């Protein structure tokens, strides 16, 4: 399977190389932004090799009011490619045997993920789906006195499904480039930022054959959680230009959300509730470097989705990603069969 995936990588790169050219610049978009602040490379084939590490953590509040942490044991890091051309942006990374590390003294975590997005000049839409099976409690001593600090408790059959979407409007899209932060298909020539407002929503499902937490208000041990969220967010994004080659970008968008959920107990009692509220947030930080057609980025992305505000349902989750990439911007010849898809110079 791994050889097949990498084989498709190589074939795709070979086909792209057929259309590469080092001649005159072609296919540039008509500028709908302030050219003294933003430089556009969407007409180039922006190709990066990347390495990424990610972690999913589920948090629950114990009856003693201490946070319980359930963590995945994923192979770290993964390796792959990221590319951007015209309106098309994609990223794919997979673990590579021998150079991706998985802690042998913990559980085996299986995972699947898919993300899609749309990044316009002022509208920024993104959604992702993630599935994990295999967690471990990283601090079991807070609820099980027999465990010592540093020991873990396996939850091999614990599963989670997350679907999450964000839709933001940026008020300064003519000077601030969100594509520079997300896909690096543009660069920020001068420091600029933008106020962001929008909505978030999602679905979360968590289940285990063991109790996840004991709910005193519900008088029951809970082993399955399912909830829907919809929230409003407001935040800010800013890119600070550091000299000629470097820039530092940051984004923080907190919000409040309405939650409707249901819970299952180990004692087969079914519990449902409505009208609860929680918190959500998205944060990004990226250090970017560019010289000529070469560019590189080191970035962090984090999502928080929690309803710890509710005494009956104290569960939350975080999704964290660290990415490093190094790439080159290739010029392309016109590709006739891609013109109907607006993917040709």
Cα-Cα-Cα-Cα torsion 154, 156, 157, 160, nearest 10 degrees, comes to 80
Residue count of the chain:
345
In the chain, which ranges are E strands? Answer: 20-21, 38-40, 45-61, 67-72, 78-85, 88-94, 110-119, 123-137, 153-170, 186-188, 192-207, 213-215, 220-242, 246-265, 270-291, 294-306, 315-332
- Pairwise pLDDT comparison (29 vs 244), residue with the higher score: 244
How far, in Å, CA of 246 to CA of 290, rounded? Answer: 7
What share of the chain has pLDDT > 70, as a percent? 87
Give the start-to-end residue ranges of the domains of the chain: 2-341
CATH code for residues 2-341: 2.40.128
What tokens appear for 104 in the block?
């042998």
Task: Taking residues 5-15, report their average pLDDT.
Answer: 48
Under 8 Å between Cβ of 88 and 44: no
Q: What mean pLDDT value characterizes the chain?
A: 87
pLDDT in tens, 219-243: 778 888 888 999 999 999 999 999 9
How far, in Å, CA of 84 to CA of 178, rounded? Answer: 14
How many C-alpha atoms does 6 have within 13 Å on its Cβ side?
10
pLDDT in tens, 43-89: 999 999 999 999 999 998 877 778 899 999 999 999 999 999 999 99
- Pairwise pLDDT comparison (333 vs 191), residue with the higher score: 191
Q: Which of 116-125, 215-224, 329-338 has the lowest mean pLDDT?
A: 215-224
Element (H, E) at 5: helix 2-18
- Report pLDDT for 5: 46
Residue 200 has pLDDT above 60, yes or no: yes
Identify which of 119, 232, 115 has the alpha carbon closest to the alpha carbon of residue 170: 119
Under 8 Å between Cβ of 63 and 57: no
Identify which of 258, 273, 259 has the alpha carbon closest to the alpha carbon of residue 222: 273
What share of the chain has pLDDT > 90, as a percent? 65
Cα dihedral 229, 233, 235, 237 sign: positive
What tokens appear for 310 in the block?
């509710």
**What is the pTM for the complete model shown?**
0.87
The three-class DSSP label of residue 278 is strand
**Confidence band, pLDDT 50/70/90 cuts, at residue 181:** very high
Regarding beta strands 220-242 and 246-265, do their DSSP bridges make them parallel or antiparallel, or are they unpaired? antiparallel
Under 8 Å between Cβ of 41 and 185: yes
């Amino acid at each position: 399977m791994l050889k097949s995936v990498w084989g498709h990588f190589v074939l795709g790169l070979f086909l792209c190389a057929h259309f590469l050219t080092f001649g005159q610049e072609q296919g540039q978009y008509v500028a709908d932004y302030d050219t003294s602040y933003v430089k556009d490379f969407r007409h180039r084939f922006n190709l990066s090799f990347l390495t990424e590490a990610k972690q999913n953590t589920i948090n629950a509040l114990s009856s003693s009011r201490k946070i319980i942490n359930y963590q995945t044991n994923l192979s770290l890091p993964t390796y792959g490619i990221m590319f951007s051309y015209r309106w098309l942006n994609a990223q794919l990374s997979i673990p590579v045997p021998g150079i991706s590390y998985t802690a042998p003294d913990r559980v085996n975590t299986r995972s699947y993920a898919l993300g899609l997005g749309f990044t316009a000049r002022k509208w920024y839409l993104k959604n992702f789906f993630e599935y994990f099976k295999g967690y471990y409690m990283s601090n079991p001593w807070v609820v099980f006195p027999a465990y010592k600090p540093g020991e873990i408790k396996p939850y091999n059959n614990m599963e989670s499904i997350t679907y999450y979407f964000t839709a933001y409007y940026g008020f300064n899209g003519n000077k601030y480039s969100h594509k520079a932060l997300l896909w690096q298909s543009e660069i920020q020539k001068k420091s600029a930022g933008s106020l962001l407002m929008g909505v978030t929503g999602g679905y979360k499902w968590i289940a285990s054959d063991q109790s996840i937490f004991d709910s005193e208000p519900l008088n029951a041990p809970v082993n399955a959680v399912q909830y829907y969220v919809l929230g409003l967010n407001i935040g800010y994004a800013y890119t600070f230009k550091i000299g000629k080659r470097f820039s530092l970008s940051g984004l923080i968008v907190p919000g409040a959300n309405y939650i409707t959920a249901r819970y299952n107990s180990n004692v087969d009692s079914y519990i449902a509730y409505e009208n609860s509220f929680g918190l959500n947030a998205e944060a990004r930080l990226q250090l970017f470097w560019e010289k000529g057609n070469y560019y590189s980025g080191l970035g962090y992305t984090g999502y928080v989705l929690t309803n710890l505000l509710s005494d009956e349902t104290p569960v939350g989750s975080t999704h964290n990603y660290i990415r490093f990439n190094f790439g080159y911007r290739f010029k392309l010849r016109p590709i006739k069969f891609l013109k109907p898809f607006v993917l040709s110079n």
